[in-house]
Amino acid sequence: MSKNSLVLALVASTLLIGVPLVQAYATSVGLLRVAWNHDSVTVYITLEKGVAPSYRNEVIAAFNSWSSALKAGSGNPSEFNFVFLDQPQSKKRPADIMVTVKRNTGNVLGSTSVSSSGGIIQSVKITLVANNAMGLPLETCDFRTIARHEIGHAIGLGHSNDNKVEPLDLMSPTYDFVQVGYDIYPSTLDVGAAIFVYGNDGFGLPNTSPIPSAYP
């Protein structure tokens, strides 16, 4: 393979229904060792047939939670922006982040696939569900929390080492919607990890290089 060949890496992460067994607070969060190289990051949201249009607003609210947290944490109100597209930019590259909301996918509450090259994120696909494994609608607060978790992956965060039911870190690898039932926002640890990667100047370069596997 020549040095100029494009090498794509795919990182996939899922959020599962589960009741954690170990009780411990989050002290670190994994990093996917990839990052965006531009600000703003574009987002296109698709709803599966039968999913209420209101879910688009809930997804936007979840993205805005991250943007607000990063702006506040970095002290830079003009950076860390997401732009929501009404139409795809093109068939080849509809948006930086493609979000699909489905009615149900079994025990998987959300999943994220990150494609990257040379440590730079090229595209992200997020799948969210409107209903739980029993086919019942998720509470909107649970849906937003799951969306925020997947957005954390979309900006380069892995899972935290938190397995405590209450309080639960946003980037915990499992989520029990029966036990929680309220909005969970990016924690100080989650925001600190993202700012560690990106600095205070938004999603654009320069970023931390090389990115370690965990923070702090």
Q: Say what the pLDDT of residue 104 is.
A: 86
Element (H, E) at 100: strand 97-102
Decide which of 62 and 20 is more confident: 62
pLDDT bin (cut points 50, 70, 90) of residue 111 is very high
50 confidence band (pLDDT: 50, 70, 90): very high
Determine the structural domain holding residue 104 and report its residue range: 9-215
Q: How many whole angstroms separate alpha carbon 43 and alpha carbon 96?
A: 6
Query: 193: helix, coil or strand?
Result: helix
For the entire predicted model, the pTM comes to 0.89
User: Is position 147 within any domain?
Assistant: yes
Confidence check: pLDDT of 5 > 60: no
The per-residue pLDDT for 15 is 60
CB 116 within 8 A of CB 11: yes
Residue 8 pLDDT > 60, yes or no? no
CATH number at residue 23: 3.40.390.10
What average pLDDT does range 98-125 have in this prediction? 93
Mean pLDDT over the full length of the chain: 88
Q: How many domains does the chain have?
A: 1
Quickly state the pLDDT bin for 105 (edges 50, 70, 90): confident
DSSP lists the bridge partners of residue 84 as: 43
Higher pLDDT, 18 or 198: 198
180 or 81: which leads in pLDDT: 81
> Is it the case that residue 18 has pLDDT exceeding 90?
no
* Over residues 210-214, mean pLDDT: 97
For tokens 């999603």, the residue is: 203
Flag whether 2 is in a domain: no
- Confidence (pLDDT) at 106: 77
| Residue at 1 is within a domain | no
Within a domain: 4: no
Q: Would residue 3 count as lying in a domain?
A: no
Mean local confidence (pLDDT), 51-70: 98
What's the confidence (pLDDT) of residue 2?
A: 27
Q: The tokens of 73 are what?
A: 């944490």
Pairwise pLDDT comparison (2 vs 31), residue with the higher score? 31
Beta-bridge partner residues of 17: 175
Q: Which helix (H) or strand (E) holds 146?
A: helix 140-154
Choice between 69 and 175, residue whose per-residue pLDDT is larger: 69
Report, as an integer, the average pLDDT of 25-54.
96
Rg of the chain (C-alpha set):
17
